Structure 1
Amino acid sequence: ISAINLLMQFYGDNFNDKAYDLLKVVENGGIRLQQLVENLLDILRLNSDMIDINKELNDLGGMIMRTIQEHSFQIESRDLSIEIDIPDGFKVRVDKIRFEQVLSNLVSNAVKNTPPRGSIYIYSEIPENGSQVTIIVEDTGVGLTKEEIDQLFSFFGKIERYGKGMDIITEGTGLGLYITKNIIEQHGGSITADSDGRGKGSKFTISIPIDSLVEESPE
């Protein structure tokens, strides 16, 4: 992948459009292969209890903003609006690296499955007498059928949507949500998906134990 990047960066002007497009195909294929290998290694570690979940106090808003920045190019190129409603001082006791991986997977899915000029909402809810705090990623994208929801979190649970006339990004390995579910469960939580059907958006809800939450009191 690095060699292709260097070739395109320093010698791209020497290629005609067709050759340049072929290099992009090779680059994208390499990226997908790298993602697949990394995901499979994550699954191996998760299933072998080789991943240690090191819970520390982390600012949820900061983690979300870093995740949005990570996907800013696709968000801007698709003219998507992002609305975040997380209280100031909202901190959770989670493994920072793994929880940001969860957030990245959910935001990436929302971006890929929301047509241009759509919206993505990220917010939290704290039930008054509940034992769980929820973090929600919701979009105005293509939505999900009940059958699709049933397979979302399974191994290689990628949903094929080719040829349905949807202006969405179909790249992916089908492993992201499977890994996401495993990481959340290792935090003692759960994740669910909801949708009112095709064309009506999707809603992913992470629930983690209330003792993971620390809300700073104003001075």
Structure 2
Amino acid sequence: MSERVDDVDGVVRQAQAVLAVTLQAYVAIDTEGRVLGWNPAAERIFGFTPAQACARDLADLIIPVRFRDAHRAGMARLAAGEPGRVLGQQLQLAAVHRDGHEFPIELTLTVTDEPGGRVFHAFAHDDTTAQRAVRFAVVEAAVAGGLAVAESSTVAAARVVEALGVRMGWPVVELWLVDDHRQVLTCVARHTEPGQRLGDFALDELEPGIGLPGRVCADGAARWIPDLSADGVSLRSAAAARIGLRVAVGVPLAFGRHTLGALCVYAERMDDPEDTLLGLLGRLAAQVGQYLERRRAEELTVELARTKDEFLTMVTHELRNPLAVISSSTALLDEELDELTSEQQHEYLRIITRSAQRLSVMTDDLLDLARLESGHLAVDPIDTDLRDIIEQAVQANATLAAGKQLTVTMQLPERLALHADPTRLRQVADNLLSNAIKYTPAGGTITIAAGLDDTGETITWTVADTGIGIPTADQTRLFRRFYRASTALEKCIPGTGLGLVITRTIVERHHGTITLAEHTGPGTTFIVRLPSTTPSA
């Protein structure tokens, strides 16, 4: 008899040894839900030691609060001997760790009848990795599908952030791209969950090196900010913390060694491990980077073809007309020279001169644009006065304005000191003023205003007119080479479509910006912002 007891004890010890080393969590509970058994794997998965878990109610330990009543009701039915549909089945459930975070488990439940009553045996393992792999695969498929059918880079960016935000449950996802021409970062797509208010966090442009997107692009490396409220580097981190965003991750969008932008996500918490999440975002960023580079190449091909067509159109109309005038006037002058009065001869010469000047302006514009965009045209800043530059431009264009009975008003302080190239800013002033004169009907008004902002570091310069205006559909293409607004074409107003391109290039070479103000009535207002000091200062 003693030998049989020893055999039983040996089997029990062997079973306990197996449970101690198994990778699955083993939990035994009685009919009242109290823990009877708890192996080391259960401690690793749920965070409680056997001493902390045994004799306690399992529901209070690892069952999420919202499921506890249903769990206890189900256990009561099993304890009463009712057939259980969950017995012997693989169940996908949610569990709570000792530290409070919730995670998925896969569990199998069996029951045995012991001398002291029924005992339930649960074998479980953490299913986070498997479910994460499935979720990540779904996200990657959604992103790949979105990129495959996107008809433009803008649509592609929107689909990427939406796929990440919706599938991963992140409240804010942003995709930023580097604008090499303007030397800024632009948020081309942003996803926010319903009800999420961004406030002053929602910026659309950032300087290089500023904020999480700027730092990711500057370093070309991923960044993880575990606590935005403690990130003293960026004011945007403080804005994020104020609206409940605690954690942020950013990865670079790159093609080869060239950084194209940054993909950034913000959330209250991120349950996935840092290296795992960075791996997912890194793979997605590589997908997006390849797509953007391919799309840019395609768009560049289209842009070159369009530019060629528009250049040929400009040459046909804007160069052929003055050449035709010069040719015909010269021929008439030659044929009728003996019969023309001195005044008539001078009038022919004035016509030829005006046409030649028009050709000269177009040639200079083309040369200036090529030099400015290639960086071969020098910009030599000195301490100068913007008021003097504007006044000189107004005086030079006074005859043209008077010929159309236009009223030109200046609202300028005594002096507007800045560090800039006066010759190039004079080009800006001439272009903006001549455009205002050209596109404003007789009897209209042109108002030029400039002044320092409250910080004393930025000059805001506006040129407003009561002219024909620019349709909303044309405004996004206004600074494109050779582009002419539809209103100008309809009224057959001559022009090369280069003046504003040159103006923007000069302004940006001075670390400034030029934008078109929103208009509710007729006319157009251009806003130029320039630093009053050198960028280093």
Q: TM-score band (shorter)?
A: 0.7 to 0.9
- 2:364 pairs, out of 38, 43, 46, with 38
Alignment of 1:127 with 2:450, yes or no, is no
Unaligned residue ranges in structure 1 (runs of 5+): 213-219
Q: Secondary structure at the match of 2:496?
A: coil
Give the letter aligned to residue 496 of structure 2. Answer: T
Q: Alignment RMSD, CA only?
A: 3.3
Q: Which range is displaced more, 129-138 or 32-41?
A: 129-138
CA distance in 1, matches of 2:432, 2:515: 12
Instruction: Return the alpha-carbon distance in structure 2 between the equivalents of residues 205 and 170 of structure 1.
Output: 23
- Give how far 1:146 is off: 1.3
8 Å contact 2:474–2:486 — kept in the other structure? no
Query: What is the CA–CA distance in structure 2 between the aligned matches of 1:205 and 1:13, rounded to whole Å?
Result: 53
Indicate the residue corresponding to 2:85 in structure 1. none
TM-score with structure 2 length normalisation?
0.34
Q: 2:444 aligns with which of 111, 118, 122?
A: 118
> 1:30 Cα deviation (Å)?
2.7
Give distance in 2, aligned partners of 1:68 and 1:54: 23
Using the aligned pairs only, state the percent identity.
Answer: 29
Counterparts of 2:383 and 2:389, CA distance in 1: 12
Which has the higher Rg, Structure 1 or Structure 2? Answer: 2
Cα separation, partners in 2 of 1:210 and 1:162, compared to 1, 3 Å: closer
Q: Give 2:91's aligned residue.
A: none
Q: Is contact 2:418–2:532 with CA below 8 Å preserved after alignment?
A: no
1:61 pairs with one of 383, 387, 398: 387
The reply to whether residue 187 of structure 1 matches residue 513 of structure 2 is no
User: SS in structure 2 opposite 1:89?
Assistant: coil
* Compared CA separation, residues 125 and 65, structure 1 to 2 (3 A): closer
AA in 1 matched with 2:529: S
CA shift for structure 1 position 19 = 9.1
**Structure 1 stretches (4+) deviating beyond 6 angstroms?**
15-24
The 1:179/1:62 distance shift into structure 2, 3 A limit, reads same
Secondary structure in 2 matching 1:161: helix
Matched-pair contact (CA < 8 Å) for 2:431–2:500: yes
Instruction: Give CA-to-partner distance per residue, 1:70-120, whole Å, 9 cap, x none.
Output: 111111111111111110022221101100000000000000111111111
The Cα of 1:129 is off from its aligned counterpart by: 3.8
Over 3 Å counting, the alpha-carbon distance change for 1:154 and 1:20 in structure 2 is: same
> Displacement, 1:137?
0.5
Counterpart of 1:71 in structure 2: which amino acid?
N
Q: Which residue is 2:497 aligned to?
A: 174
Distance change in 2, residues 1:34/1:131 (3 Å): same
Equivalent positions of 1:1-20 (< 5 A) are 14=340
Q: Which residue of 2 aligns with 1:203?
A: 525
Contact map agreement 1:181 1:190 (CA 8 A) in 2? yes
Q: Which moved more, 1:59-68 or 1:126-135?
A: 126-135
CA contact (8 A) 2:439 2:488 kept: no
CA distance in 1, matches of 2:366, 2:338: 33
2:417 is aligned to 91
When residues 13 and 146 of structure 1 are mapped into structure 2, their CA distance, relative to the original with a 3 A threshold, is farther
Q: Does 1:49 align with 2:375?
A: yes
Q: Shift of the alpha carbon at 1:26?
A: 4.8
Q: Answer 1 or 2: higher relative contact order, Cα 8 Å, separation at least 6.
A: 1
**SS of equivalent residue, structure 1 residue 151:** coil
Q: How many residue pairs were aligned?
A: 203
Q: Is the 8 A contact 2:469 2:487 kept in 1?
A: no
Residues in 1 aligned to 2:485 and 2:401: alpha-carbon distance in whole angstroms: 21
